[in-house]
Amino acid sequence: MAKITYREAVRRAMIEEMERDPNVFLMGEEVGHYQGAYKCSQGMLEKFGEERVVDTPISEQGFAGLGIGAAMLGLRPIIEFMTWNFSLVAFDQIYNNAAKILYMSGGQIPIPIVFRGPGGAGGMLAAQHSQSLEALYVHCPGLKVVAPATAYDAYGLLKTSIRDNNPVIFIEGEVLYNTSWEVPDEEFLIPIGKADIKREGKDFTIITWNRGFWFTMEALDRILKEGYDPLILDLRSLRPMDEKAIIENTVKTGRVLIIEEGWPRCSVGSYIADFIQRNCFYDLHAPVLRVNQEDVPMPYARNLEKLSLPNPEKIMQAVKTLMSF
């Protein structure tokens, strides 16, 4: 298997699905002539033309609503947000239309649409452009939420998401586009809602997703040098969530550390911690611990941004606390 970048995995998945199904099209700001703000759609305008790679005005609410209408009529839109921070402008369309039309139509009108784009801190982009918003979307019934960490997972999950008949929130890591991973040349799909054990271990279980996995990998050498043997569970999908895998791997080690890029209050990690204590209480040897971004707006300064995000020092401190029980 060749290694390809996360960016190329996203691009390859979109191209293959557009070749396979003429109802699939891409729409968003700068996806066509500029070839994408992060170059995920490079070459796609030339390949598919302006009717299937559609540049839009700067109006997230407008083109999100247009995409939902197209999905209601049988097309399969891929809506790119230049960043998930800008999805807040289209929040009403996503929450009150995309997520609810199937339910409110009595199951008569599916909404096969993918909202995708980069999320999280991008590197000195400050508070309004550095937010991890997955918890907002996991909260909403009617949406599926996917947050892959690797090129392999991004490729397989994006293809599955495009074929799904429900609205999918597909959150890519803003600083992950240049990361590489082995991806087979042949086509494959990854089911939404299936976690992946990225590393077997016996001492404690790290549960993570998206950029949280890479924070974990940054700390892994230090963890191993201290003599600990962690199991790393990458959820990949946040709604539906692989609750069976969470239970099995909690029981296996008896200790859990959750690492996520988002804020700590009412986060995805706080739901996971609650789920574990309700289902695995008597299997735990220690409280479930979490490492999050600090509970503040993201600073602009690079040194303060680094201090705000999960980092090896915070993770190592949490590991030592977890193993002290």
Please state, for a pLDDT cut of 90, what percent of the chain lies above it. Answer: 99
**CATH number (domain holding residue 285):** 3.40.50.920
Structure tokens at 301: 């300064």
Give pLDDT, residue 157. Answer: 98
Structure tokens at 206: 């790290």
- In one letter, which amino acid is 131? Q
Residue 204 and residue 209: Cα distance in Å, rounded?
17
Contact, 258 vs 291, CB < 8 A?
Answer: yes
- In one letter, which amino acid is 269? G
CA 94 from centroid of its chain's CA atoms: 16
Residue 167 has pLDDT above 90, yes or no: yes
Q: Are residues 117 and 249 in the same domain?
A: no
Give pLDDT, residue 1. Answer: 85
Residue 1 and residue 30: Cα distance in Å, rounded?
32
User: Which residues does residue 172 pair with via DSSP β-bridges, in sequence order?
Assistant: 118
Q: Are residues 124 and 165 in the same domain?
A: yes
Is 203 contained in some domain?
yes
Give pLDDT, residue 266. Answer: 97
Q: Are residues 27 and 80 in the same domain?
A: yes
Residue 78 has pLDDT above 90, yes or no: yes
- Is 139 a residue of the active site? no
End position of a domain, from candidates 183, 214, 233: 183
Find the mean pLDDT for residues 214-241: 98
Q: Are residues 177 and 209 in the same domain?
A: no
Find the mean pLDDT for residues 215-225: 98
Q: What pTM was estimated for this model as a whole?
A: 0.97
As for how many domains the chain has, the answer is: 2
Residue 105 has pLDDT above 90, yes or no: yes
- Is 129 a residue of the active site? yes
Catalytic site residue from 8, 17, 29, 129: 129
Is 190 contained in some domain?
no
Catalytic site residue from 8, 29, 60, 261: 60
Please give the sequence-ordered ranges of beta strands (E in DSSP) within the chain, or none if there are none: 2-5, 24-28, 53-55, 76-80, 114-119, 144-146, 168-173, 180-183, 196-199, 204-208, 230-234, 237-239, 256-259, 289-291
Give pLDDT, residue 264. Answer: 97
Is 89 contained in some domain?
yes
Residue 103 has pLDDT above 90, yes or no: yes
Relative to beta strand 114-119, strand 76-80 is parallel
Please state, for a pLDDT cut of 70, what percent of the chain lies above it. Answer: 100
Q: Sort 89 into a burial class: Cβ within 10 Å, 0-12 / 13-18 / 19+.
A: middle
Kindly report the average pLDDT of the chain as a whole number: 98
**CATH number (domain holding residue 10):** 3.40.50.970
Structural domain span for residue 167:
2-183
Is 191 contained in some domain?
no
Contact, 154 vs 10, CB < 8 A?
Answer: yes
Is 179 contained in some domain?
yes
Q: Are residues 174 and 232 in the same domain?
A: no
Residue 267 has pLDDT above 90, yes or no: yes
End position of a domain, from candidates 183, 217, 239: 183
Give pLDDT, residue 260. Answer: 98
Q: Could you read off the pLDDT of 5-47 as tens digits, one per residue?
A: 999 999 999 999 999 999 999 999 999 999 999 999 999 999 9
Q: Are residues 145 and 202 in the same domain?
A: no
Can you spell out the DSSP letters for 242-304? -HHHHHHHHHHHS-EEEE-SS-STT-HHHHHHHHHHHHSGGG-SS--EEE---SSPPPSSHHH
Find the mean pLDDT for residues 66-84: 98
Q: Are residues 46 and 158 in the same domain?
A: yes
Can you spell out the DSSP letters for 205-219? EEEE-THHHHHHHHH
* Residue written as token pair 């839009």: 56
Is 188 contained in some domain?
no
